[in-house]
């Protein structure tokens, strides 16, 4: 193979492989732009049904607030404790990223948080 052809093959591989690797990594890590943008649009007072319609079914329903880790997210845990939430819906994305939404006894959003390492 001539040097010029080798260079063209390398450029072609870079043009194809870099975007494919980036998309694959984003999918593997669970950072869906659509999900994150939908999560940002969740507002206090929304019903649980509205939240599930916007985000899809939760991975877990819990009486306890949980993120991917406690350290570094102490403010979110304090906010959850003060929110009056009776339960939480949790969406697990990536290795340890958790999106959490708290609901009151009437199943209305009281708080939301996202965290992990």
Domain 32-115 classification at class level: alpha beta
The answer to whether the beta carbons of residues 35 and 93 sit under 8 Å apart is: yes
Q: Whole-angstrom Cα distance, residue 91 to residue 39?
A: 10
pTM value is 0.73
When pLDDT is cut at 50, 70 and 90, the band that residue 55 belongs to is very high
CB 110 within 8 A of CB 84: yes
Summarised one tens digit per residue, pLDDT across range 12-28 is 666 655 555 555 545 54
Q: Give the model confidence (pLDDT) of 70-98 as tens digits.
A: 999 999 999 999 999 999 999 998 788 89
State the angle between helix axes of 33-40 and 48-55 in degrees (0 to 180), rounded to the nearest 10.
Answer: 160
């Amino acid at each position: 193979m001539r040097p010029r052809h080798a260079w063209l093959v390398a450029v072609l591989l870079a043009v194809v492989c870099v975007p494919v690797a980036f998309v694959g990594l984003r999918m593997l890590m669970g950072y869906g732009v659509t999900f994150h943008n939908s999560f940002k649009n969740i507002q206090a007072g929304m019903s649980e049904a509205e939240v599930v319609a916007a985000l899809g079914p939760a991975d877990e329903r819990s009486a306890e607030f949980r993120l991917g880790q406690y350290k570094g997210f102490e403010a979110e845990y304090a906010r959850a404790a003060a929110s009056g939430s009776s339960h939480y819906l949790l969406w697990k994305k990536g290795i340890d990223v958790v999106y959490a939404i708290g609901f009151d006894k009437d199943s209305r959003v009281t708080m939301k948080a996202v965290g992990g390492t």
